[in-house]
Amino acid sequence: MEGYTATTAEDGLEALVRLTDSTFALIITELKMPRMDGMALLREIELRRLPSAVVVLTGRGSIETAVEAIRRDAFDYLTKPVDPQRLLQLIPKVLEAQRIRSALQTIRIPAADSEPRINRMVGRSPRMVEVFDLIERVAPARASVLITGESGTGKELVARAMHGLSPRSAHAFVSVNSAALPPDLLENELFGHERGAFTGAAIRKEGCFELAHQGTLFLDEVADMSLATQAKLLRVLEGHPYRRLGGTREITVDVRVVAATNRGIDRVLEEGRLRQDLYFRLSTVEIHLPPLRERGEDFALLVRAFLSESSRANGKPVSRIGPAAMDRLLRYPWPGNVRQLRNAIEHAVILSTGDTISVEDLPLGVREPGRAAGGSDGIYLHTIDEMERRLIAVALARFPTRTQAAEALGVSPRTLYNKIRRYALLARDGRADVTPPPSSETDVVREARRLDSLFRLA
């Protein structure tokens, strides 16, 4: 009656036969069935790489089974008795998300090591579906795009996705963090310099605009640029040529600029930190990324994706998250958004000793938010200096000579000696003062692993 063509099957085995003969956009399956149950059917769909989206039906007492189905790539689940209105609202969302997901799975973008990889953007929430749709529609255009959203929401990933879908994908994607450089260095980074332009300029350097010619230039944290740099950027965006520092030749480039900021646009415009004319030039299209707390439907999908990615990257056979650990993940507010979630999962994978992540493997700030010091985001548990001092102390206690300790820490003996003096790790007799030392080598290894994981998160 709603305009869909529906086919039925008595159980999973009959469904598998029908799936062999025909292609279906959506499969709605019971979990408990004779001959072949819903989980077995999901495994077969996964093994055969069938392009169907799956929604599972489950009783109210079997939510854990439904969560397991989500891990096996089911799109969503509905509890019985099924509300027909809820089902009719869900179907078009599933079909639209499946269409966009299929399109985005074909995107290939250059990774940091210049090797091609598949874009790992995931999401099925309505707001992320809108983002995916915008990416798909805007990517072929030349227009500038402004991406807004809190830190850690994946703004650079969106920029890379647009580049990968665009006609410019065969050319360079160049990324610049405007907040990481002082104004003079940022201008040099963007526009380059000629040999001899200033003391120390021994060779000519091409700026990022030249490096990104016919490709895409991503300007992160654009609202942190100085107003003088913003004025020069605006001229280039309006098609005017520019010169390298110390140069006389005018340079014209063909670059698509994608900018991003984690600051509220209205606030930075009102405060005069972002030029209004530059904002209008950059925001031909504006894409806003929602924070993780507004992407409830995506959480399990992101956790599964990061778990798989971290397990492969670290060579660990971790494939599951225990119920108690998952409960802690769900309760945590994630102020650092998707980036923080990804780091937390990698932290847990690194510390895990089996195939299942437990509560003890999670970062302290996630498993015990009240004990996280230095901020509400739960990752700033120590200052960098404190963590470095403790790592050096552990190494000095573990190895008989400073040379061996320096080698283990990946620094030169001179650097280690300077840090020992800086952190007052010398006793009166000149030896390293690391009292009280760890009680055993196992304690040393455990402490080093814990501190290393904290370093990765910070």
pLDDT tens digits along 409-450: 888 888 887 777 766 655 333 444 443 344 444 444 555 555
Cα 344 from Cα 290, distance rounded (Å): 20
Instruction: Looking at the structure, tell me whether residues 358 and 213 fall in a common domain.
Output: no
Residue 340 and residue 409 in one domain: no
pLDDT at 114: 35
Q: What is the pLDDT of residues 72-124, one digit of tens each?
A: 667 777 888 888 888 888 888 777 766 655 554 433 333 333 333 335 578 88
Is 128 domain-assigned? yes
71 class by beta-carbon count within 10 Å (0-12 exposed, 13-18 middle, 19+ buried): middle
Establish if 246 belongs to a structural domain: no
Shared-domain flag, residues 404 and 443:
yes
φ, ψ of residue 212 in degrees (nearest 5): -95, 10
Domain end point (choices 104, 138, 169)? 104
Residues 158 and 258 in one domain: yes
Domain shared by 139 and 272, yes or no: yes
What's this model's pTM, rounded to 2 decimal places? 0.56
Task: Mark whether 172 and 230 lie in a shared domain.
Answer: yes
Range with the poorest average pLDDT among 118-132, 167-181, 234-248, 343-357: 118-132
Question: Residue 88 is part of a domain; what is its CATH number?
Answer: 3.40.50.2300
CB 38 within 8 A of CB 27: no
Indicate the residue among 63, 83, 104 that finishes a domain.
104
Q: Domain ends where: 371, 394, 425?
A: 371
Question: Does 374 have pLDDT greater than 50?
Answer: no
What pLDDT was estimated at residue 343?
94
Query: CATH number for the domain including 422?
Result: 1.10.10
pLDDT at 429: 39
pLDDT score for 446: 55
Q: Are residues 297 and 284 in the same domain?
A: no
Q: CATH number of the domain that 357 lies in?
A: 1.10.8.60
Residue 85's contacts (CB-CB under 8 Å, 6 or more residues apart) are none
| Each residue's pLDDT tens digit, 347-362 | 999 999 889 999 999 9
Confidence of residue 233 (pLDDT cuts 50, 70, 90): very high
317 part of a folded domain: yes
Rounded Cα gap, residues 404 and 409, in angstroms: 9
CB neighbours of 433 closer than 8 A, spacing ≥ 6?
Answer: 424, 425, 426, 427
Answer whether residue 65 is part of any domain. yes
Lowest mean pLDDT among 269-283, 329-343, 361-375: 361-375
Find out whether 365 and 372 touch, Cβ atoms under 8 Å: yes
Q: Do 313 and 394 share a domain, yes or no?
A: no
397 within some domain: yes
Residues 90 and 167 in one domain: no
In the Cβ-directed half-sphere of 366, how many Cα atoms lie within 13 Å? 27
Are residues 283 and 225 part of one domain? yes
Report the alpha-carbon distance of residue 104 to residue 126 in Å, rounded: 16
Q: Which tens digit of pLDDT belongs to each residue from 321-349?
A: 988 888 889 888 899 999 999 999 999 99
Domain that holds residue 71: 12-104
The answer as to whether 3 is a domain residue is no
| Residue type for position 138 | V
At 386, the pLDDT band (50, 70, 90 cuts) reads low
pLDDT averaged over every residue in the chain: 79
Q: What does the pLDDT read at residue 56?
A: 85
% of residues, the chain, pLDDT over 90: 24
Residue 2 lies in a domain: no
Residue 378 DSSP symbol: S
Phi-psi region of 190 (alpha: psi -120 to 50; beta: other; left: phi over 0): alpha
How confident is the model at residue 438, as a pLDDT? 40
User: Is there a single domain that holds both residue 16 and residue 70?
Assistant: yes
Cα–Cα distance for residue pair 217/166, rounded to 1 Å: 13
Residue 4 maps to a domain: no
Helix pair 63-71, 38-47: axis angle to 10 deg: 10
pLDDT value at residue 196: 85
When divided into structural domains, the chain yields a total of: 4
Return the bridge partners of 251, or none: 242
Which whole-number Å values give the CA distances from 239 to 171, 174, 396, in the listed order?
Answer: 20, 19, 58
Question: What is the C-alpha to C-alpha distance for residues 219 and 17, in angstroms, rounded to an integer?
Answer: 51
Give percent above pLDDT 70 in the chain: 79
The whole-number average pLDDT for the span 278-293 is 91
Judge if 360 and 397 occupy the same domain.
no
What tokens does 117 get?
């990889």
